[in-house]
A and B are shown apart, each in its own frame.
Chain A
Amino acid sequence: MEQRKKVIPESYIPIEASRTLRMEDKDYLLMNDAMYTFYERSMGEFSQFFMALRDEKKILGCRCSACGVVRCPPMLTHCPDCAFAPTEPVEVGQTGKLLSTPPITYFATSMFLDKAPFGRGRLVLEGADTALSIMLYTTTGILTPGIMKKGTEIKIVFQDERTGQISDIFGVPTSELTPEQAQKPGLLASELNWAAVKEPDLGQATEEAKRASQGTLVELEALLKEMSASKRASKAIENWKRTIAVKTPAVEFGLIIDNGRIWLERGRPQSSDFVMATEDIRVLLDGLDYKGAITDAIVKRKLWISKNIEFVTIFKLDRLARFLAREKKEGAAKG
């Protein structure tokens, strides 16, 4: 039940513990800890706005009684541009245009790891003069640059379970909707046609490609060995454990990460945490060899992963590549 969710998910909370870290022949103490405060927060003059989201699936703005400017979100009760003339609540539309091209977050904070990648844009709704900050998704898979730009028309979508917070709504491009969906006030997330997650069809490999892939596997094995051996590089995957099923037309194998070590096991793994699929195994090798990030390969759709949340593992692999490259480079610079 959505309503019974904990304010802080259980999994975020560390146990009471400490560890010591040795730095240049001296031990230092690291203590698991948290700084927390709970609130029963007054939503004050914004109460009507949030209750309208939750209960009526409506978006409210505020209109200045002097200059007529409609601000959404309804930031203020009196207009600072008109000698603080009072404002009044007014309903605004649920479709609008982006004020500018929105950024896309691939590397999210610990609270949003399961929501990335997402866009956040400034949406000027019909009937409003100012922009509402809004989370943006595409229904067509992973959000990549170019799908939304300045001026793109966006439709507000309401979560089915709403709690009276700004996260009760998000936006999708109107162009991805049917005319009926685009017209409908209070459109729900469950009414959208989300593209099903399905593995890409990789096609068949030629005999030559199969032979070549064996050579690439040997290169990959040598690189992974170097990574596991490097104290600096393996920091990127310390305390991390994943089995990744890697699928290419020419070869399948398991990529195993286990607390600072990484290696591959030939053949399809018995079970895996997620699937990584690519037409060319070199995409993965180049990524790990620090010749183009694996993150970017996913963004450019050269590599596919079965779970968005595993971007967190992808980032670790990119860091692993960078740490190893940096160790070699700094070693050379210091002589």
Chain B
Amino acid sequence: MAKKKSFAARKVGIVGASVTPFKGRWVEKTFYDLAQWATRDALKDAGISPAEVDAVAYGIYNDIFERAAIPEHPLQGIIGLPNKPGIRVTNGGATGIYTIASAFAFVASGMYDTALVLGVEKATDCYDFVSRSATPEVIKTIAWSGDSFFEQKIGWTASDSYAEVILAYMDEHPGDLKPEVTAKISSVLSEHVKTNPYAQRQFDQVTPEEVLNSRYIVYPLKEMEICVYSEGAAALVLAEEETAKAIAKNTGRPVVWITGVGLSNEWSFAGKGMNHWGRIYSHHVAAQQAYEMAGITDPAKEIQVVELHDAFIQQLEISMAEMGFVPMGRADALVDDGLMLDGGPISVNPSGGLLYCGHAVGASNIMSAWAARNELIDKGKHRALVHGTGSTICQYGGVAILEHED
């Protein structure tokens, strides 16, 4: 475990947020316009102009998706922040949570008073002219992220690398992650998405039986247990304490404070002394850091909302166990004990998650933060956890704790 977490120098809050609609494909817009759209709406939500934003952190995962190296450079002017600092963050699937953490550090350190978090992603312009469909080329594009010496040339994909981790967990805990439980969770998320008008699959409610009947993509993962690739953008406006309070007074929307942040990247290979095989240890470490910073000792009792990066339902379950909501090996308690069902103590992915809202990679975790903030303010809840995962074998993990005092 890393050395004791030092606490942020200044309090940082979210005072504005937005998402564009997430769609399977945005033929009508490039990522320039998607990024500007999310920026316009987030600044409008905060009631401020670009002049009042000191810096920006861009979350854009994959250069090949955007079909440009340094894809963020045109955005600086387009979003109205010329001559201000901009940093681009790319951390695989966890790009969004790392972007939030970077902007948080900008403000917490005292370097800047306000910062924009802006995530955007195209994906489905990638097209395979042999099979005449996008998906094989989209997953090929992501497959350039595998180890380039030892794994890319033998069929590494994001799905098969997460499947490895899930199967290794199942080897250790053969009674957990029951197919009827993963099917139920997918079905529950498809009900949540009904109230998210920005979601790619708002009207795609599925029954557990349909999930069980859906096809294998990569064993043991079935189509309806896997997130869908999406295009879209999302943004947050962060501000230090006094600025945040002033903005909140003006908009009438309370500040949602970021009280804890934790990040961890594990070994990318397995075997003696390397990755904790059968676990997603990075999620455990990131959560523990964030809890310590936020002063949380019992997450299952102290957190009411979880917006979790559900790349795969089985990984959602393991991540919930790694973050201390259910015991390792008994993640099915999420459903068996009703923890995340209607009326249960924890609301998991009220947005519908990346399965149903969609996975616009660089924007995904930022969408999750947008959804968590809405849930806290609109439902009058106290504390939320936002989570991100990424890279080969769930190597990257990030957690942020959001709090609402009113």
A105 touches B (CB below 8 Å):
yes
A113 touches B (CB below 8 Å):
yes
In the complex, what residues of A have CB within 8 A of residue B167's CB?
A: 100-103
Q: How many A-B contacts at CB < 8 Å in the complex?
A: 182
B252 touches A (CB below 8 Å):
no
A106/B164 in contact, CB under 8 A: no
Partner of A329, one of B132, B160, B205, B215: B205
B139/A103 in contact, CB under 8 A: no
B204 touches A (CB below 8 Å):
yes
Within 8 A of B (CB), among A43-70: 43, 46, 69
A120/B204 in contact, CB under 8 A: no
Having A115-B155, A122-B270, one finds 13 other A-B pairs with CB under 8 Å, namely A13-B129, A100-B278, A107-B136, A107-B215, A108-B157, A110-B130, A120-B154, A122-B277, A130-B269, A166-B154, A167-B154, A239-B132, A292-B213
A109/B205 in contact, CB under 8 A: no
B218/A105 in contact, CB under 8 A: yes
B205/A333 in contact, CB under 8 A: yes
What does the 1/0 interface line of B206-224 toward A look like (CB < 8 Å)?
A: 0000100111111111010
In the complex, what residues of A have CB within 8 A of residue B28's CB?
A: 23, 26, 28
A135/B271 in contact, CB under 8 A: no
Complex: chain B residue closest to A130, CB-CB = B271
B64 touches A (CB below 8 Å):
yes
Minimum CB–CB distance from B232 to chain A (whole Å) comes to 16
Within 8 A of A (CB), among B114-171: 127-133, 135-137, 139-140, 143, 147, 149-151, 153-157, 159-160, 163-164, 167-168, 170-171
In the complex, what residues of B have CB within 8 A of residue A11's CB?
A: 130
Q: Report the Cα distance A75→B154, complex, angstroms.
A: 17
In the complex, what residues of B have CB within 8 A of residue A113's CB?
A: 130-131, 136
Which of A23, A33, A150 has its CB near the most chain B CB atoms (within 10 A)? Answer: A150
B5 touches A (CB below 8 Å):
no
A131 touches B (CB below 8 Å):
yes
A40 touches B (CB below 8 Å):
no
Q: Report the Cα distance A145→B139, complex, angstroms.
A: 22
What does the 1/0 interface line of A5-31 toward B look like (CB < 8 Å)?
A: 000000111100000010100101010
16 A-B pairs in the complex with CB atoms less than 8 angstroms apart: A14-B127, A21-B27, A103-B159, A103-B218, A110-B136, A111-B140, A115-B155, A120-B155, A120-B164, A130-B269, A133-B154, A145-B219, A290-B213, A299-B216, A299-B219, A329-B204
B272/A100 in contact, CB under 8 A: no
A122/B272 in contact, CB under 8 A: no
In the complex, what residues of A have CB within 8 A of residue B151's CB?
A: 133, 166
What does the 1/0 interface line of A118-149 toward B look like (CB < 8 Å)?
A: 10111010001111111100000000010001
Q: Please list the residues of chain B having a beta carbon within 8 angstroms of any beta carbon in chain A.
A: 27-28, 64, 67, 127-133, 135-137, 139-140, 143, 147, 149-151, 153-157, 159-160, 163-164, 167-168, 170-171, 203-205, 210, 213-221, 223, 269-274, 277-278
Minimum CB–CB distance from B47 to chain A (whole Å) comes to 31
Q: Report the Cα distance A35→B164, complex, angstroms.
A: 30
List the 3 closest A-B pairs by CB distance, nearest first.
A130-B271, A293-B215, A103-B163
Q: Report the Cα distance A290→B215, complex, angstroms.
A: 10
In the complex, what residues of B have CB within 8 A of residue A46's CB?
A: 149
In the complex, what residues of B have CB within 8 A of residue A32's CB?
A: 129
Q: Contacts A69-B273, A120-B154, A130-B270 given; indicate if A107 touches B130 (C-beta within 8 A).
A: no
Which of A33, A104, A111, A318 has its CB near the most chain B CB atoms (within 10 A)? Answer: A111
Interface residues on A, range: 35 or more
Q: Report the Cα distance A112→B139, complex, angstroms.
A: 11
A2 touches B (CB below 8 Å):
no
A105/B149 in contact, CB under 8 A: no
Which of B132, B136, B155 has its CB near the most chain A CB atoms (within 10 A)? Answer: B155
In the complex, what residues of B have CB within 8 A of residue A160's CB?
A: none
Q: Report the Cα distance A291→B203, complex, angstroms.
A: 20
Q: Report the Cα distance A101→B219, complex, angstroms.
A: 10
Minimum CB–CB distance from B175 to chain A (whole Å) comes to 15
B217/A106 in contact, CB under 8 A: yes
Q: Report the Cα distance A115→B312, complex, angstroms.
A: 24
Partner of B272, one of A30, A69, A149, A296: A69
Partner of A291, one of B67, B143, B213, B219: B213
Q: Report the Cα distance A108→B140, complex, angstroms.
A: 8
Q: Report the Cα distance A133→B277, complex, angstroms.
A: 14
Minimum CB–CB distance from A258 to chain B (whole Å) comes to 13
Q: Contacts A14-B129, A118-B155, A295-B215 given; indicate if A166 touches B150 (C-beta within 8 A).
A: yes
Minimum CB–CB distance from B390 to chain A (whole Å) comes to 18
In the complex, what residues of B have CB within 8 A of residue A107's CB?
A: 135-136, 139, 215-218
A207 touches B (CB below 8 Å):
no
Q: Report the Cα distance A113→B129, complex, angstroms.
A: 13
In the complex, what residues of A have CB within 8 A of residue B160's CB?
A: 103, 105, 120
B150/A124 in contact, CB under 8 A: no
A296/B154 in contact, CB under 8 A: no
Minimum CB–CB distance from A304 to chain B (whole Å) comes to 17
Q: Report the Cα distance A333→B272, complex, angstroms.
A: 52
What does the 1/0 interface line of A73-100 toward B look like (CB < 8 Å)?
A: 1010000010000000000000000011
Q: Report the Cα distance A132→B215, complex, angstroms.
A: 29
In the complex, what residues of B have CB within 8 A of residue A134's CB?
A: 154
Q: Report the Cα distance A55→B131, complex, angstroms.
A: 36
B220/A103 in contact, CB under 8 A: yes
A120/B156 in contact, CB under 8 A: yes
Partner of B170, one of A35, A101, A291: A101
Q: Report the Cα distance A106→B214, complex, angstroms.
A: 13
A326 touches B (CB below 8 Å):
yes
Q: Contacts A35-B64, A130-B270 given; indicate if A103 touches B164 (C-beta within 8 A).
A: yes
Q: Report the Cα distance A73→B271, complex, angstroms.
A: 11
Partner of A318, one of B147, B205, B215, B278: B215
Q: Report the Cα distance A32→B127, complex, angstroms.
A: 9
Complex: chain A residue closest to B166, CB-CB = A103
A247 touches B (CB below 8 Å):
no
In the complex, what residues of B have CB within 8 A of residue A30's CB?
A: 27
Which of A107, A145, A312 has its CB near the most chain B CB atoms (within 10 A)? Answer: A107
A100/B277 in contact, CB under 8 A: yes
Minimum CB–CB distance from B32 to chain A (whole Å) comes to 15
Partner of B171, one of A101, A295, A312: A101
Complex: chain A residue closest to B209, CB-CB = A291
In the complex, what residues of B have CB within 8 A of residue A106's CB?
A: 215-219
